[in-house]
Structure 1
Amino acid sequence: MDRISLGNDEFEGRNNAYVLADDESDALALVDTGIATDSVRGDLRDGLATRGYEFTDIDDIMLTHFHVDHAGLAGDIQAESGATVYVHEADAPLVEQDPDAVAAVEDRRRDVLEEWGVPEASREEVQALHEQFSHIEGAPADVTPIEDGTVLEVGGRTLETVHAPGHSAGLCCFEPIGGPETPPGDSAAAETGREAFVGDAVLPVYTPNVGGADLRVERPLERYLESLARLANRSYERVWPGHRDPIDEPTERITTIIEHHRERTETILDLLRDHGPADPWTVSARLFGDLEGIHIVHGPGEAFAHLDHLRHEGVVALEGGEYRLVDRAVDPETVIPDTT
């Protein structure tokens, strides 16, 4: 396994594409591809060339999720190489750029931004941003849908698919089975799960956005916390994220992310106690200040994810687009328990 670091000026820092190669069979696979800009296309071509490969050599592409900074170049590479592109069935229509699926996401974005109380000028800024960045989506790909538990034989390795929704509906991790640390046929070693490619499920610096990153996810914070617990319980020794450097103590990092969400929950509860009922846009403004660009969606999305979770826990009630406290004495640890 080898990592190619790719530029990304549009979103949250450098992306990773992982190269899986088998010299005996000449099998070559990628985990994620990067965003579809000329500079990133060049980064990926150059990174492959230094390893003796071209786009035409790629047999398989595994996408952790549909976001363009992970899937943008999949269609372009497939057009050159005929590679099989794997992505979870929930995200498959968006990677294929199915018109109905894309239109449904756009309609959902317009609806929820209004529901969250986002001002019209900011909603128009988001619309303009999506039109401006339409070119970075790349060509549509013909995908092979996968699901939780799907086993893939790619790049001379056996990978198990681990569905981890929250940041996106179809986010998947890929866990190698077999190899030097987990001998083929050793079920005990396979259960231990030494390493995994985790996309944006766990990041080393930032906490992955929930609520705004994929507006299709129902109860996004709960889904994400469930995914974190599942990954922690697989006892990985190292994980390979979609951005930045590998994480050598992933369970500790997962615990930190859960604690971050517990602290954010406490902050939101304090805001509602101090200022009264509020919509997600107002809460996000108090959390993050002025928002622009993609953060116009991610900020209130994060606030919504927490408010929605508190509503389902019976801590707040939603009335007229605003969330008000029902239980003023709630302990954040009972709302977001430590599940690692």
Structure 2
Amino acid sequence: MDRITLGNDEFEGRNNAYVLEDDDALALVDTGVAMADVRSDLEEGLADRGYEFADVDDIVLTHYHVDHAGLAGEIQAESGATVYVHEADVPLVEQDPDAFEARERRHREFLEQWGVPEDAREELFSFLDLFEEIEGEPVDATPIADGDALEVGGRTLEAVHAPGHAAGLCCFEIDDGDEAFVGDAVLPVYTPNVGGADVRVDRPLEKYLKTLRTIADRDYDRVWPGHRAPIEEPTDRALTILEHHRERTAKILDVLEEHGPADPWTVSARLFGDLEGIHVIHGPGEAYAHLDHLYHEGVVGCEDDEYCLRTKPADVDLESLFPTATWPETAE
């Protein structure tokens, strides 16, 4: 697969933009963040292949995050490219003011519920203000949904909705389905953040576990992530991440047993220590995703935004909370 490696020092490591081409069409899967050095990386990568932004016919976005979608608007302005993204993420890549306002309101509500101190919240919002500079130009987006097939760059890409890390995150199966672009659904080094990366997602860990099962069940030969190198054993990687979340839940149960009732900020401090920058929301967001999962499974209770054990950690059946068998076909 032809990929251009793009700079990224802030998130999960260097981004990938994938180039799909035939004699009649040129497409990109993801674009990188709207920063001058990243734009140069992408322009140089395309130039090495004999192209420029104006030649791009289609852009397929795995999700709305700025390190994947930031340059899409600039490319579209130069080329008139069609930009495809899942319908849940369309308002954010189009930079709808109402969608931005709703997301910020949800940020503030959750941070307060999670027990994040005011000084940490203000530090986070100062950091998030920088995102306005790297979100790039608005996009005229074409919405897609699970199961849609796109004919771009001489390839057929079938959308597989994969929420958890983001509400609209999609994997895209390539041609016969043996390989796929997976965005941040699975990554080769880090485990994608769940809970803080997109506060629009309800029941984030439950949704992400189903995404991991979908990827494992499809048993791809290879997948192409949004960051770093291709994943040669994607089923094993998906199950390893699932096991990571099972182990994290066990640690959270131990925190509640040792500490007593606690909010997500307190739990995240026990798990991750001091947090700064984007991790001020990623840390408690991850703790919240696990606590929320435990709450809906009846393992913990919640009162005044603090979670408490309903049973001893030793009596919790983590195998049933994080199954590795195929999900029932009736699961939504």
Fold similarity call, TM over 0.5: yes
Give the secondary structure class of the aligned counterpart of 1:273.
helix
Match of 1:10 in 2: 10
Deviation at 1:132, TM superposition (A): 2.2
1:25-70 alpha-carbon deviations (Å, 9 max, x no partner): 2x00000000000000000000000011100000000000000000
SS for the counterpart of 1:224 is: helix
Write the mapping of 1:71-220 to structure 2, written as runs, cut at 5 A. Answer: 71-177=69-175, 182=176, 193-220=177-204
Aligned to 2:247: 263
The answer to whether residue 297 in structure 2 is matched with residue 299 in structure 1 is no
Secondary structure of 1:309's counterpart equals helix
Inter-partner Cα distance in structure 2 for 1:152 and 1:334: 37
User: Residue 233 of structure 2 corresponds to which residue in structure 1?
Assistant: 249
Is 2:318 the counterpart of 1:332? yes
CA deviation map 1:128-174 (0-9, x unaligned): 11112310000010000000011101001111011000000000011
Letter in 2 for 1:161: A
Q: CA deviation at 1:238?
A: 0.1
What RMSD over aligned residues (CA atoms) do the two structures have, in Å? Answer: 0.8
Q: CA deviation at 1:225?
A: 0.4
Secondary structure of the residue aligned to 2:311 is: coil
CA distance in 2, matches of 1:221, 1:254: 14
Aligned residues: 324
Quick one: which amino acid aligns to residue 20 of structure 1? Answer: L
Amino acid at match of 1:337: P
1:198 Cα deviation after fit: 0.2
Using the alignment, how far apart are the partners of 1:275 and 1:331 within structure 2?
Answer: 21
Distance 1:67 1:116 in 2: 23
Displacement of 1:11: 1.7
How many angstroms apart in 2 are the aligned matches of 1:203 and 1:339?
21
Task: Supply the distance in 1 between the matched residues of 2:324 and 2:95 (Cα, whole angstroms).
Answer: 38
Structure 1 residue matching 2:164: 3-state secondary structure: coil
Q: Aligned with 1:167: secondary structure?
A: coil
> Deviations for 1:72-106, whole angstroms, at most 9, x for unmatched residues?
00000000000000000000000000000010000
- Structure 2 Cα separation of the partners of residues 339 and 123 of structure 1: 40
1:18-57 map, 5 Å: 18-23=18-23, 25=24, 27-57=25-55
Gaps of 5+ in 1: 183-192
Q: Distance in 2 between matches of 1:255 and 1:12?
A: 20
2:329 alignment counterpart: none
Residue type of the alignment partner of 1:243: H
Three-state SS of the structure 2 residue aligned to 1:107 is helix
SS of the residue 1:109 aligns to: helix
* TM-score normalized by the length of structure 1: 0.94
Residue 238 (1) aligns with residue 222 (2): yes
- Listed as ranges, the gaps of 5+ residues in structure 2 are 327-332
Match of 1:53, SS? Answer: coil
User: How many Å apart are 1:232 and its aligned residue?
Assistant: 1.2
Distance 1:133 1:275 in 2: 36
CA distance in 1, matches of 2:32, 2:325: 32
Specify the SS of the correspondent of 2:88.
coil
For 1:111, the aligned partner's letter is E
